[in-house]
Amino acid sequence: MAPSQKFASLLPLVLLLGILVGGSGCHRQTVHAAPPPAVPPPTLEPAPIPAPMPTTAPPETTPVAPAQPAPIDPGPEMPAPKPVNPKPRVIPPPAPDPAPRPAPPQLRPNITPAQAADFKRKTNDAVAETEKNLQSSSGRTLSQEQRDLVDKIRGFLTQVREANDAEDWGKALNLAEKAQLLSREMVSAP
């Protein structure tokens, strides 16, 4: 195909593309707003000055009229703005103190008396081993990390006692096992 034939076949396509781009509304439109109405500034008329009351008879002179300013055309009268009356603020009475909320109920699994006895036995065994491990480490010089570990173990043992008092056997056993594992780690450390 000759170059002139290629151009001739592309010409309609180029023209169509030009028409589409030109007619697509890409030209710039400007919006002209109406100018705001001209409002003359409000004029204030001077208040008339009352003449002082003479205490004696006035002397006979020709009265001179006071100079009056030229009258000013106030233009169209603007209505005076209405005064804004603030609404009275109503202060609600203070709310009564709410009653303290009761502690949320603890959800525990229903366990049989046999399971409770098993949990108690396992908890007591874990606590006994933990306390024995703490006693064995009491004669040694401990590093800061080991002292922190001892504090955690004692915290767990306190929580075990609280859970036992609340008869939460599952929680007590879980805490006792954590304390037991930490005490074993402390004893095995050099």
Total domain count, the chain: 1
- Token duo for residue 45: 């008329």
Walk along the chain (190 residues) and give the pLDDT tens digit of each residue.
Answer: 666 676 677 777 777 777 766 666 655 666 666 666 666 665 555 555 656 665 555 555 555 555 565 556 555 666 666 666 667 777 777 766 677 777 767 666 678 889 889 999 999 999 999 999 889 888 788 888 888 998 999 999 999 999 999 889 899 999 999 999 999 988 887 6
144 lies in a domain? yes
133 lies in a domain? yes
How far is Cα 173 from Cα 156, in angstroms, rounded to an integer?
11
120 lies in a domain? yes
72 lies in a domain? no
156 lies in a domain? yes
40 lies in a domain? no
| Structural domain span for residue 155 | 113-188
50 lies in a domain? no
64 lies in a domain? no
Please tell me whether the overall predicted TM-score, pTM, comes out greater than 0.75 for this model. Answer: no
How far is Cα 61 from Cα 58, in angstroms, rounded to an integer?
8
For residue range 19-63, list pLDDT tens digits in order: 766 666 655 666 666 666 666 665 555 555 656 665 555 555 555
Three-class secondary structure of residue 154 per DSSP: helix
Q: How far is CA 144 from the centre of its chain?
A: 41
